[in-house]
Structure 1
Amino acid sequence: MKILHAFIFFSIKHAGGTSDLMFKIAKAQKKAGFSPIILSGDYKFDHELADQLQGVDFMVCKSFFDKLGFSIMPSMIWKLIKVSKDIDVVHMHVFRTFQNVILYFFCKIYSIPYVMDAHGAVPYHENKRFLKKFFDFVIGKKILKDAKVLVAETEVGKQEYLEIMPELNDKNIVVLSPPFDTDEFLSLPKRGVFREKYKIDNDLKVVMFLGRIHYIKGNDFLIRGFADALKLRPDLYLILVGPDDGHMDECKKIVEDLDITKNVLFTGFLGGEHKNSALVDADIVVQLSRFEQGAWAPLEGVLCKTPIIVTSDTGTGEDVKRLKAGYLVDFDNNKMLADTIIEIIENYEDAKDLTYIARDFIIKNLSMNARVGEYIDLYK
């Protein structure tokens, strides 16, 4: 079976979790004997990451206007026509893209089934709200209606589809939480490497965020809640690990306004072993998103044996609650966040026990190797 995975970017550093998950699905599908192909634009394309997918074919298209938020790839039309007889199914990642519009007509013309995997990109939110509604009016709802399967990572994600299009048949919406490529977490980095590199005292209690510095990730809330906790525990230290995605300047201004610059570090992007070293050396990993489909980033913390805190009314909160993998707080409740940070630090062995149990369950039951068949079942 030849599976075309399509996303506008192929770079974990630039595009975060969607590229990461697509990479891992393709890797597992190839290992299982299938033939995945990745269709992507050339903007910020990560050649080193692509080299890690031995035996996986790539269709890389010249992309225009990416910095303006529009990834336009005219050449993909001719590339798709050339391979039209070879593709068995298309797996679209994210929703409102030029790429998916072309793929929609391609699939209709050549009678190729497709799966829509929106990764939390369905809600309108505030950013580009009018453009999103216009897209849906013109073509977006047709893409959803004609999909063989709509993939939601949580029940929250399922409701997001139904909220913008109530007439969808919910039987066509499959809730499939992302599996975990647990192999890289079976042998963890030695403790202390990250702290030594960044000259962080071993006596400090590190609270760490991992991900893009974007408004939706709620780091403004994290910083304010951390500042409240810092008043009670001067040994706390906040580290934000990830690239700027439009919210870095505001976060740094909040840090300055709260006069906590000596207790906060922004590292920028860290990947691979460097990322895992950071997670191992943290005392708590947090993800306090306003909206989030799934809990991949914080559960990487669990796989590195570090307790986690997430926001409750999100797909992330749903995952963490279901797995009993960590602690939940209400978004924008600074006191609740501060109290939870203090509670974990002061009852750390209990927090570690909870984390270890969840880690073992994830490795045994939710690994990519154990669940790759679920992705193949989507296409049948």
Structure 2
Amino acid sequence: MRVLHVTPCYPPTWAYGGIPRVVHALARAQRSQGIGVRVWTTDAFDADSRASVPSRREESGIDVRVTRLASNRLAWRHQLYVPTALPPLDDVDVVHLHSHRHLLNWLAFHAARSRGIPVVLTPNGTAPRLERKVFVKRAWDTLFDGDVPTRADHVIAVSKAEVRQLLALGVSADRIERIPNPIHLEEFAELPARGSFRAAQGLGAGPIVAYLGQITPRKGVERLVAAFGEGLAGATLVVAGAARGMALPESPHVRYTGTLEGPDRLALLVDADVLVYPSTDEIFGLVPLEGLLCGAPVIVGGDCGCGELIGEAGAGLLTRVGDAAELRAHIHTLLADRERASAMVERGRRYVTAHLDPARVAGAHIELYQRMLRA
């Protein structure tokens, strides 16, 4: 069996959020279980540059095909990924689309349909018209691939919250499969020494409260800065990520680092005394789960899939969207009660290891592919 993963971004691209990390972990785990894996992606990298990668490479047995974008600017500013090549469907048995509303999916979906190749979609929270450019998304759905979720052979929901989203969009329950995202556990086997991020940034001895991820209105960074107010127990708020279409609120107690990658990213998670992820409509939320693997106690928005997972694991505190007093109180709680915080972290580590191991998640995907091929 050979699967084609279609994703607009793939490592070494990290500035576009969690989907590249998810696809990378899944592809590696599937290849290690013996199936053929191909990835079709673009050279998107960040706001100012393209990924310096060949158009075709083999990586850990994965056949990675990279199409050059017609415009890097359109990709970064408007998430309009215009490929300059067609999807490589030769010898492909299953097409697995990642994210929603991009031209790679549209091309791959229709090419697969014309060849009778089954298609599965993992929207990872992108199926509803949320947050930015809602009018543009409505127009896109009318002109292009708005019906892909209802026409794909199967749609994967990564949480119960996403199941509800898909049902509301008209996806029939018998075509929805709930499979969580994988977390690449090997990445967290050897962590940076505690204190390395603090020293590199000159942060002193005070507590570090951290946010790591894209900076968009939905992510709640402005609410977190507001909750921090005039300072909080001598702590510094570190905000790490790329700002996407919004100005960064100024505060003397906030340090903005931009996108962090590799060891720098892990070093922040290791040094974080509290990791806050106050996003709304977050259908999964990789960062808090990765933070737990690095020893960081977490606070997450309680109205979404991320809160669902953290609550199920008993691995952190949940906060109501817009309740700055509650968020501030939760930060105080985790900074003051380190025994309670450590217990949450330990429960979170056990949950991630038991449920989100890439081998387990990849096996669930392969079983779904096999059912699709037998249908």
TM-score normalised by the chain length of structure 2: 0.90
Pick from 82, 97, 114 the counterpart of residue 72 of structure 1. Answer: 82
- Matched residue type, 2:85: S
Q: Which moved more, 1:119-128 or 1:308-317?
A: 119-128
Question: What is the CA deviation profile of residues 182-208 of structure 1, one whole-angstrom value per residue up to 9, with x for unaligned ones?
Answer: 112122221111111111112x11100
Q: 1:218 Cα deviation (Å)?
A: 0.8
What's the counterpart of residue 92 of structure 1? 97
Return the match for 1:133 from 117, 130, 138. Answer: 138
Match of 1:58 among 52, 57, 64: 64
Tell me the distance in 1 between the aligned counterparts of 2:351 and 2:120.
29
Return 5+ residue gaps in structure 1 as ranges.
Answer: none
From 287, 292, 301, the counterpart of 2:282 = 292
Q: Deviations over 1:133-170 (max 9, x none)?
A: 2332344343222212101111111222222x33x211
Residue 262 of structure 2: aligned partner? 272
Q: CA RMSD in A?
A: 2.0
Percent identity of paired positions between Structure 1 and Structure 2: 26
For residue 14 of structure 1, report the CA deviation from its aligned partner.
Answer: 2.5
Q: Which amino acid aligns with 1:27?
A: R
Answer with 327-336 or 357-366: which moved more. 357-366
Question: What secondary structure does 1:137 align onto?
Answer: helix
Match of 2:275, SS state, is strand
Deviation of 1:176 after TM superposition, in Å, equals 1.5
Q: Which one-letter code corresponds to 2:359 in the other structure?
A: N
Note closer, same or farther for the CA distance 1:378–1:100 as it changes in structure 2 (3 Å cut). same
Match of 2:272 in 1: 282
* Distance in 2 of aligned mates of 1:346 and 1:8: 42
Q: Which residue of the partner structure matches residue 196 of structure 1?
A: 199
Equivalent residue for 1:155? Answer: 160
Q: Hey, what's the Cα distance between the residues in 1 that align with 2:351 and 2:147?
A: 39
1:209 aligns with 2:211: yes
Give the 3-state SS of the residue equivalent to 1:37 in structure 2.
strand
Report the CA distance between 1:369 and its aligned residue.
Answer: 2.5
CA 1:351 to 1:43, structure 2 compared with 1: closer, same or farther past 3 Å? closer
| Matched-pair contact (CA < 8 Å) for 1:238–1:265 | yes
Aligned equivalents of 1:196, 1:127: Cα separation in 2: 37
Q: Which residue of 308, 313, 331 maps to 1:341?
A: 331
- Residue equivalent to 2:348: 358
Query: What's the counterpart of residue 241 of structure 2?
Result: 242
Identify the residue that residue 327 of structure 1 maps to in structure 2.
317
Where does structure 2 lack aligned partners over 5 or more consecutive residues? 371-375
Aligned to 2:27: 26
Q: What is the aligned partner in structure 1 of residue 44 from structure 2?
A: 43
Aligned-partner SS, 1:72: coil
Letter in 2 for 1:336: E
Alignment of 1:363-374 (within 5 A): 363-374=353-364
Quickly say closer, same or farther: Cα 1:100–1:122, change in 2 above 3 A.
same
User: Residue in 2 aligned with 1:16?
Assistant: 17
- CA deviation digits over 1:7-55, x for unaligned, max 9? 1222442212001111111111111111111101223254579979322
Please state whether the residue corresponding to 1:305 is helix, strand or coil: coil
Question: For residues 110-129 of structure 1, what are the structure 2 equivalents within 5 Å?
Answer: 110-129=115-134
Task: Report the more deviating stretch, 309-318 or 53-62.
Answer: 53-62
SS at match of 2:229: helix
Structure 1: distance between partners of 2:2 and 2:326 = 49
* Deviation of 1:357 (Å): 2.3
Q: Where does residue 110 of structure 2 map in the other structure?
A: 105
Choose 11-20 or 295-304, whichever is displaced more: 11-20
- Rounded to whole Å, the distance in 2 between the matches of 1:126 and 1:339 is 27
- Is the 1:295–1:320 contact (alpha carbons within 8 Å) kept by the matching residues of 2? no
- The 8 Å contact of residues 269 and 275 in structure 2, kept in 1 or not, is answered as yes
Q: Number of aligned pairs? A: 360
Supply the AA of the counterpart residue of 2:245.
G
Any conservation in 1 of the 2:93–2:118 contact (CA below 8 Å)?
yes
The Cα shift of 1:127 comes to 2.2
Give the Å deviation of 1:353: 1.3
Q: 2:57–2:63: 8 Å Cα contact kept in structure 1?
A: no
SS in 2 for 1:184: helix
Paired with 1:337 and 1:52, the residues of 2 have a C-alpha distance of 45
Alpha-carbon distance change, 326 to 128 in structure 1, aligned in 2, over 3 angstroms = same
- With over 3 angstroms needed to count, the CA separation of the structure-2 counterparts of 1:343 and 1:51, relative to structure 1, is farther
SS of the equivalent of 1:188 reads coil
Equivalent-residue separation in structure 1 for 2:315 and 2:285 (angstroms): 10
Higher helix proportion (structure 1 or 2): 1
User: Aligned partners of 2:218, 2:59: CA distance in 1, in Å?
Assistant: 30
Asked if structure 2 preserves the Cα contact closer than 8 Å seen for 1:10 and 1:46, the reply is no
Name 2:228's counterpart in structure 1. 226
1:182 aligns with 2:185: yes
List per-residue Cα deviations over 1:332-376 (Å, max 9, x = no partner): 100000111111111111111121122123224421123320111
Q: Distance in 1 between matches of 2:319 and 2:131?
A: 23
Quote the Cα distance in structure 1 between the aligned partners of 2:15 and 2:32.
26
Name the SS of the counterpart of 1:200 in structure 2: coil
Q: Which stretch shows the higher mean deviation, 290-299 or 65-74?
A: 65-74
Instruction: Name the CA distance, whole Å, in 2 between partners of 1:124 and 1:361.
Output: 31
